[in-house]
Amino acid sequence: MQIKELLKQSPSEQEVTVKGWVRTKRGQAAVTFIAINDGSTIHNIQAVAEGGLIDEETLKLVSTGACVAVTGKLIASLGSGQAVEVKAEKVVVYGTADETFPMQPKKHSMEFLREKAHLRFRTNTFGAIFRIRHVLAFAVHKYFNDNGFFNLHTPIITASDAEGAGEMFHVTNFDMEKPPRAEDGSIDYSQDFFGRQTSLTVSGQLEGELGALALSKIYTFGPTFRAENSNTTRHLAEFWMIEPEVAFYELEDNMNLAEDFVQTVIKYALENCADDLAFLEKRLLEEEKNKPQNERSELSLIEKLKFVIENQFQRLTYTEAIDILVRSKPHKEKKFQYPVEWGIDLQSEHERYLVEKHFKKPVILTNYPKDIKAFYMKLDDDNKTVRAMDVLFPGIGEIIGGSQREDDYEKLLSRTKEVGIDPENIWWYLETRKFGSAPHAGFGLGFERLVLFVTGMTNIRDVIPFPRTPKSAEF
Ligand code: 4AD
Ligand code: MG
């Protein structure tokens, strides 16, 4: 039986078997207390081995990190902190772990744990994070299923750069030492596996749109890849993205969907991860104690999550945001590292000022200048801005990016050429604007950024099991 279920049982001396990994062992010859965890919950179950009942040789093999099966009666616990415990009658050691086991019961730095990504699952913190990650993923599928969306599996290998940022990892099966060459000396991709140059996708959006223009409401939830060399606490080279796309939606519907969606999944985590969130909240409070007073957050983790689900996001245009930034104290006092003027791509410091200092709540910025956004966004009537929307979160910055899409064939074609994309490469995308085009909109939520927000962790490398970042793909 899983420990999560066992801990809910009443102690009627029934015989049970617990299997899991030893977190701690303490006590002496007369009585030994073994804390066992199987990952089903943050809580351990305590096994009590009284002297004589379990042979000493076996007990010696029981140490932090070992994997054991303990059989015995489930009894009321005399110790505080747990209702039941197992009075051990039989102990089987599946796998021993000596004192070199790195996850000893003491505080480890996150950097140390990243180097031990194969074992960090066995800590309380990472157990909590990955259970919450699962619950959030489940909540995402539940949300869309409950609201009439179809899950569409878009390709991972692609020949088009959806975001046009040129940050793609190439996919080839050429012998890189001697790829076939064309007469002019360039690499001849027509001889490659797919007969053309291909990459790992940066987004499932373009294919998602094709689905939405028939199924009306679709969403994708898959891995995406970006070869951007940004070594920050919010970027991964491989991350998971959720991309809903809806026919007949305009920008405002898209904002409503984004807000309702993130609020609903966060609420689901609050309702279904209470123990893990309570643990992470306590952990965060400990960390905060080491920070100077003025850097400590005003809200605890759970308060912060409740705040986000109970308050409407602030909506304003990019142009309005620039006005606020220009008139802000840090701008006047030259405290921003980057300049502020209409037309700039907002930096994280600007986004965080708006969210954390000015509005003190999540913000949805809309109608960005077309030059800093992707080619597929619908042009506004002024021909200067596009119907883009970014959702900005405290501590995170951009968590969602989306837009209403250009549905006019001629306008889309000319934007395609303007940004230097060969229309031939995405003829199939353009063609949907020729046959039964419809207003439509969608967005992308970076799943790890959501997990980062909900768990209160500070580095995105700690909310994905095996992070892929520049110079790092060990596990
Ligand atoms: O803003 P982005 O680039 O938008 C798109 O890819 C659109 N095709 C989405 C759409 O409209 N369907 O990325 C969307 C989100 C960002 O807001 C961010 O949360 C996340 O994906 N993201 C990353 N997360 C982790 N590491 C990275 N390198 C990320 N790049 C983007
Ligand atoms: Mg973006």
CB 399 less than 6 A from any atom of ligand 1: yes
**pLDDT score, position 291:** 87
Question: Is 172 part of a structural domain of the chain?
Answer: no
Residue where a domain stops, chosen among 95, 112, 131? 95
**pLDDT score, position 164:** 82
Q: Tell whether 91 and 133 lie within a shared domain.
A: no
Instruction: Please give the number of the atom of ligand 1 that sits closest to the Cα of 202.
Output: 6
By three-state DSSP, how is residue 402 classified? strand
Residue type, 12: S
Q: Tell whether 400 and 300 lie within a shared domain.
A: yes
CATH code: domain of residue 263: 3.30.930.10
CB 235 less than 6 A from any atom of ligand 1: yes
Q: Tell me what the pLDDT averaged over the chain comes to.
A: 96
**pLDDT score, position 402:** 98
By three-state DSSP, how is residue 93 classified? strand
CA 342, 347, 350, 354 dihedral sign is positive
Closest CA to 21 of 68, 91, 60: 68
Closest CA to 91 of 33, 44, 42: 33
CB 394 less than 6 A from any atom of ligand 1: no
Q: State the total domains in the chain.
A: 2
Q: State the residue range of the domain holding 12.
A: 3-95
Neighbours of 446 (CB within 10 A): 22
CB 226 less than 6 A from any atom of ligand 1: yes
**pLDDT score, position 229:** 86
Q: Per-residue pLDDT tens for 147-185?
A: 999 999 999 999 988 888 879 999 999 999 999 999 999
Distance 326 CA to ligand 2 centre (A): 22
| Residue 223 burial by Cβ neighbours in a 10 Å radius (0-12, 13-18, 19+) | middle
Closest CA to 18 of 1, 4, 40, 34: 1
CB-based burial, 290-320: b 16+ in 10 Å, e otherwise: eeeeeeebeeebbebbeebeeeebbbbbbee
Q: Tell whether 336 and 384 lie within a shared domain.
A: yes
Cα–Cα dist 116/113, whole Å: 5
**pLDDT score, position 227:** 95
Residues of the chain with pLDDT under 50: none
CB 443 less than 6 A from any atom of ligand 1: yes
Q: Tell whether 233 and 381 lie within a shared domain.
A: yes
Cα–Cα dist 288/456, whole Å: 12
CB 236 less than 6 A from any atom of ligand 1: yes
CB 241 less than 6 A from any atom of ligand 1: yes
Residues 6+ apart with CB under 8 A from 426: 160, 206, 416
CATH code: domain of residue 78: 2.40.50.140
Hunting for tokens 């002019």 — which residue is that?
Answer: 184
Name the residue with the closest Cα to ligand 1, atom 6.
203
Q: Per-residue pLDDT tens for 361-376?
A: 999 999 999 999 999 9
| Residue 148 burial by Cβ neighbours in a 10 Å radius (0-12, 13-18, 19+) | exposed
**pLDDT score, position 393:** 96
Whether 331 and 346 have beta carbons less than 8 Å apart is answered as: no
Instruction: Please give the number of the atom of ligand 1 that sits closest to the Cα of 450.
Output: 19
Instruction: Please give the number of the atom of ligand 1 that sits closest to the Cα of 205.
Output: 12
Question: Is 174 part of a structural domain of the chain?
Answer: no
Say if strands 238-247 and 440-446 run parallel, antiparallel, or are unpaired: antiparallel
